Structure 1
Amino acid sequence: MKPFIKALMTSFMALPLMLALSLTAAPVMAGEQPNLLIMGEDADQDTVPRNSRVFNRVLLALSNEMQQMGFAVYDETAVTMAVTNPARVRRTDAELLTVAKRVPNVPIDAVVVFQIYASAEQNVYAPGVIDLRIRVTGRMVHVQTGRAMGNFEVAYGPGELPPLPPGCNRDCVLEQVGGEARRIAADVGAVLAIKLDALSPARAQVPLQAPAPQAGMAPVTTAPMATTGCVGLTTAYTLAFSGFAPEEMTRIEEYLVVFKGYDHHRPVRVTMTSAEYWYETCSDTARLNRNLRLMAEQLGVQARISMVGNRFDVQKIGLGANR
């Protein structure tokens, strides 16, 4: 068979899958909006610990800003109590990320980690004046990939915040510090929400052409809305293929780049019978799983497809050859 005829036949063989992927895809490439977990890192002895009322007010302020932007925020105690004691204090960021990865039932996509630094000091020029120093830092991390998604901090030094009232006792100090820290945390949360919105845009609304007004009717000033573009968080997956011949892997790569939502991919490890790819897409997990099944069907092979976290394993089921 001549090479160009063979290539033409290969293209026609791939055509049904291309059409299936195109026809079943919605006009908008809707990826998954991230599920968020907001957690405080208090391993540093200078930070405000988790069991403080100041900590809780900051946590609620950050959660509120993320929710106002439309993101799904899950309560840490509710979703982690099955795997760890949420009341533990002085936890490191490594512990927080490990816990987030092991949350059952709810797939956590990103963690917002915050720290609170607060202190009171006597003014050197006015011994009766007690100034506050407060700093709130926040950063976002993609749980499965470890990707840094943005950070921000707001800090105020002595003289930039109202001083403590005269004779302020412990409860008074906690309330004063908590009130100021809550306001600062709201600013941090608002900035982080904007950064996350840029990484995971909402479904864009664009006006359609308004219908022509009928006789005797006022012109229509509003129009229905439609959606366009790629929305949701671009996510990285590990796609591992085993048991496939080199020519089959060549065809698999051709399929991977035509999946809806494809961003880019990179080979991580390749051998004669296996290959592992870093694959970034704004497609949701369910669509990617379905496309991999369709691909195996189009290739005419039996395959076992499994997923754990952000890793897909595609294993060809070898039936053996007669010789």
Structure 2
Amino acid sequence: MSWLLKIIVLSLTLGAVSNAKGADSVNLLVMIEDADKHSVPRDSQINKRVHASISQQLNQVADVYDETSVTLNTFNQGPGRRTDAELLDIARSVTRPPIDIVVVLSTYTAVTTNEYAKKARARVAGKILNAKSGQFLDNFEVQSPRTWSIPYACDRQTCILEEMGDEAKVLGDELGLILAEKLNWLINAGSPESSTAEKAELVNDYYLEFDGFSAKHVANIEEYLLLFSGYVSHRPTQQRFTRTTLLYRSTTGTAMLSRNLLKLLEELNMRATINFEGNAFSIKRITLRGENANRDITEGW
């Protein structure tokens, strides 16, 4: 079989996988950012109600995991006032299950008191981040349409929390619906009726580290990486004599990319171990004594 024909066969084989029903699901964490001293603290009853409302809406389009449950044994549950950097570090450290998307929420409330009334207002902001790369994907915020009156005698903390929590929950439901729609668009590339030009796709960043492969081997491999379904782009981030790391951008999930890498090694008659952690694949070549280490792709498959 000619080299060109085999390229076509591999392209069809790898491309067909994109329609498989066994594609990766999207694992999501809803996290509270409260680094701003003016925002509502993470452990406040108000934030708990907002968090629950938004999680319920997002659960319709992704697999939403409870942060406390998946980090219980690995992270201190006490500290508040966490920054974006801390939240991303936590999300990336969770491997069971691996987290793909982080939805970061911040809630703001205020009460103004004068001689005859108490007025309140609230705002909830949310943004969607790619947990693997930290890439900003989208954001939105909702706020109470106007200030509303709360009982003037409501001067106890529990009373204020209840009044503000009721409004914040409504805002959480509204923001959750909007973020779910945006996330559904990113994950599913729009509705089935959408044209190709109208569709958006969630792009994942992967690091492919080839250890024990010469520059010539990597050049051969790159020819086939272009054929993988969902391919967007790639570039080297490190290149040494027998080790090369590529930043590989694709719309496919980790399971599909792993299968394609195995298929690639098989087609090129290369033996290697493949390890995966976070968003990095480590491919370490296995060589045998007397094996021709300089096999050229132009010699055939």
1:274 aligns with 2:261: no
Measured against aligned partners, the alpha-carbon deviations of 1:199-240 in whole angstroms (never above 9, x if no partner) come to 11179557xxxxxxxxxxxxxxxxxxxxxxx99743221112
Q: CA deviation at 1:148?
A: 0.8
Structure 1 length-normalised TM: 0.79
Cα distance per residue 1:239-275 (max 9 Å; x no partner): 1213223332222111111112222222323344332
The alignment partner of 2:59 has SS state of helix
Q: Of residues 119, 122, 133 in structure 2, which corresponds to 1:134?
A: 122
Match of 2:76 in 1: 85
8 A Cα contact 2:185 2:191, kept in partner: no
Whether contact under 8 Å (1:30, 1:284) holds in the other structure is no
Structure 1 gap segments, 5+ residues each = 1-7, 207-229
CA distance in 1, matches of 2:291, 2:46: 72
**What is the distance in 1 between the residues matched to 2:21 and 2:210?**
25
Cα 1:59/1:248, change in 2 over 3 Å: same
Partner of 1:71: 62
Aligned partner letter, 1:154: V
Q: 1:186 to 1:248 in 2, by over 3 A?
A: same
What are the within-5 Å matches in structure 2 for residues 47-126 of structure 1?
47-68=39-60, 70-123=61-114
Deviations, residues 115-152 of structure 1 (Å, cap 9, x unaligned): 111121124xxx21111132211111111111111111
User: 2: distance between equivalents of 1:186 and 1:273?
Assistant: 53
Alignment of 1:283-298 (within 5 A): 283-298=252-267
Contact 2:29–2:101 (CA<8 Å) still a contact in 1? yes
Aligned counterpart, 2:183: 196
* Pairwise CA distance, 1:14: 4.3
TM-score scaled by length of structure 2: 0.84
> Identity across aligned pairs (percent)?
36
Query: Cα distance, 1:154 vs. partner?
Result: 2.1
Corresponding residue for 2:131? 143
Is it true that 1:302 corresponds to 2:294 in the alignment? no
**Distance in 1 (alpha carbons) for counterparts of 2:216 and 2:3:** 12
1:176 to 154, 163, 171: 163
Conserved 8 A contact 1:31-1:282: no
String of CA shifts for 1:3-28, please: whole Å, max 9, x gaps.
xxxxx9433554554454356x2646
Q: Which letter does structure 2 place at the counterpart of 1:116?
A: T
RMSD between superposed Cα atoms in Å: 2.8
Number of matched residues?
A: 287
Change (3 A) 1:277 1:29: farther
How far apart in 2 are the matches of 1:176 and 1:129?
14
Structure 2 residues without counterparts, runs of 5 or longer: 194-198, 293-301
Structure 2 counterpart of 1:262: 231
Q: Which residue of 2 aligns with 1:315?
A: 284
1:163 counterpart = 2:149: yes
- Post-superposition shift, 1:56? 0.8
